[in-house]
Structure formats: structure tokens, C-alpha cells
Amino acid sequence: MAGEPKLSHTAAIILQAINAGYIYGFSVMETTGLPSGTVYPAMRRLERDELIRSQWEQESIAEEEQRPQRKYYKLTRAGKSTLEASRKRYPLLAKLIPSGPEVEVESESVIAGNA
């Protein structure tokens, strides 16, 4: 698609990681080996460009597991098509980060969406 943004290799890796099921910042860091100073700013840009969207997990789940709430990221429709285009541009992307754990992100109706 002509209007799709061209992602850098790092941004494409992060998008692939989120698509593969690594849906919060620290797991993306662990999977990609990228430092926190790269991962989080890149995710914010991806969110600004509406390729991913973020949601806070339900408070009750975090309370049950006695830990702070996490912010989960998920690809948007535009993000999925951009990732497809990036896979053609970077053929080794899927081999670098194969599909990982499938984590279900709760529906938007019960989770406060990110501003």
C-alpha cells in the first residue's frame, strides 16, 4: 500500500515481537535484546502513528496476583498491514522472532483505554 509508513528495522522487530505475543515493554526488551531506552520510545512512536494501541490490564487481575497493573500493547489493523509490508522488506523478521505466547488482551469495554 502506498500510504503505509516504512518502518526502521528496530521498529519492525518491535512490531513483530508485539504481534508474536510479547505484549508489554519488558517482554519486548527480553525478546529483542534491545535496551529500555530504545524499546519504550519506539513503542510510543508506533502508538502515535496508530500502528499499535495500549490498554491497562484489569485491576482485579493485578490485585489477585499481588503485582502492579501492566500496560499491554496490541497491533491495530494498520499495524498488521504495515507489519506484512515490513516482512517483505525484512524477510528474516519472522525467523528472528517466531510467534511466542498468545496473551489475550481484555476487551476495551472493561479496560480503561489509553488516552
Partner 1 sequence: MFQPATAFRIFNQMLLRAAALPVPRRLRDEWLREWQSELWHVREACAPAHGILLHAEREILSFCAGAFRDGLCLRNDSLRHKVRARPKILLTSRTSSSASQCLLVLATLGIAAYCVAMLLPGTRAVVQPYPYRDPGDIMLITAPGTSGAPRPDIRVDQYRAWKDRKQHLFAEFAFYQPIVKSVAIAPHHYEELSIARSSRNLFALLGLPIHRTLSSVDRNSALPKLILTEQAWHRYFGSDEQVSGRIITVGLRRVEVIGTFPNQQWLLPGSIDAWLLEPDVDASAIPSTAKGFILGRIAPSSPRLPSSDRWIMSAMTTSGRAQDFACTALSSRLPAPNGIFAFTVLLAFLALPATTSLPLGEYPSAHREYSWSTRIRRWVFLASKLTLILPIVYFVSLDLAHASPYTDPITTQYIQIVTSFSICLFALRWSLRDQRQRCPVCLGKLTNPARVGQFSRNFLAWNGTELICTGGHGLLHVPDIPTSWFSTQRWLYLDPSWEVLFPVAQS
- DSSP letters, 5-56, are PPPPHHHHHHHHHHHTT--SHHHHHHHH---HHHHHHHHHHHHHTTSEEEEE
Interacting residues with partner 1 between 45 and 64 (CB under 8 A) = 45, 48
Alpha-carbon distance of 10 to 112, in angstroms, equals 29
CA distance 66 to 34: 28
- Min. distance of Cβ 73 from partner 1 in angstroms? 11
For partner 1, the binding residue among 69, 76, 81, 111 (CB under 8 A) is 69
Decide: is 114 part of the binding site for partner 1 (CB under 8 A): yes
For residues 36 and 99, which CB has a smaller minimum distance to partner 1 in the complex?
Answer: 36
Using CB under 8 A, list all residues that contact partner 1: 24-26, 29, 35-41, 44-45, 48, 67-71, 114-115
